[in-house]
Structure 1
């Protein structure tokens, strides 16, 4: 899943003049794999193997220390021939311990090979999911934030990690989902003096519709 700096740079150069029109995105493969049950299972198996091999190495080291102590305690009574034999035994045991340790934990040792074997199916799933996201979102390139490339700044707008998790069926329910519509509320029309006799004006007193004053009938003068 890791992408070397020069590989990404070469890819950008190959895009040529149309680079500005291309869409790019990034993902965090470590974050994605950490959420995958298959990856967790692989790590448990690797930890179990590592613990077993480490115990075997510790047992061999104890045997080596025992040979050294015995030789040190008996050195004064041993002949030169016997000393040479004991020294050869200690040297051979020391070489065996180092060889076994290197075989299990060294570069391209058993742990390294087992990690590749167990992680490859997980990495393949992540790669396939990234490829699907790239096609759906029409991306020219997806960069792995957890890779060898040093990213000094990553704009969250171009983060497609959650979309990859969605392809793997591991996306959070509250991410990459359309917003839910709330209940429709009916807004009541404002009250006025014409619609509500009890309507209060700003003065705090009910507004009463204007009526003809008593004793002022048309054509009559007040007494």
Structure 2
């Protein structure tokens, strides 16, 4: 039993010492990629393109909704005078148009997300490449991104490489 206790303490001591040595060789920094992306000149053009695409989708949706309103008002105004067959046909048209509007809205939301990713990915990749380059140049083991929300605490002695990344990007 005493040998087991001694072995346990020897293992704990060895692990503790090796962790201390490893922790001393770690170099950890952080960056705020969101702040960097906000000041990149490409960002303005990307935002304009996203807004233009959103306006295009919105115009199509409004046209569909206007058609729906017209058909609904026409149906409501003439409902009493319509034969059963024509009334059922108009009701089906209105229901089909409601379905098309709902489907278009869902696909437009997805298309909008895809467009944002398509336009923002090159910018994100550019920032990531600059972070990687600064990390290698300065010998960092880990770099956390404040914009990603994964950093829980940043101490006074933490190294902020945001300025270095901005310099690498020429900002």
- Shorter chain as normaliser: what TM range? 0.7 to 0.9
* 1:74 paired to 2:78: yes
- Provide the rounded CA distance (Å) in 1 between the counterparts of 2:57 and 2:155: 43
User: TM-score of the superposition, structure 1-length normalised?
Assistant: 0.64
* 1:137 paired to 2:138: yes
1:22 positional shift: 0.2
SS of residue paired to 1:146: helix
- Provide the rounded CA distance (Å) in 2 between the counterparts of 1:160 and 1:31: 12
- Provide the rounded CA distance (Å) in 2 between the counterparts of 1:132 and 1:101: 42
1:148 positional shift: 4.1
Q: Displaced runs of 4+ in structure 1, greater than 6 A?
A: none
SS of residue paired to 1:143: strand
Q: Looking at both structures, which has the greater relative contact order when contacts are Cα pairs under 8 Å and sequence separation is at least 6?
A: 2
- Provide the rounded CA distance (Å) in 2 between the counterparts of 1:155 and 1:166: 23
Whichever of the two has the greater Rg, that structure is: 1
Structure 1: stretches of 5+ with no match in the other structure: 1-15, 171-223
Query: In structure 2, what is the equivalent of residue 211 of structure 1?
Result: none
The C-alpha deviation readout for 1:87-108, integer Å capped at 9, x for no partner, is: 1000111111111111111xxx
SS of residue paired to 1:142: strand
1:20 positional shift: 3.9
Which structure is higher in helix share?
2
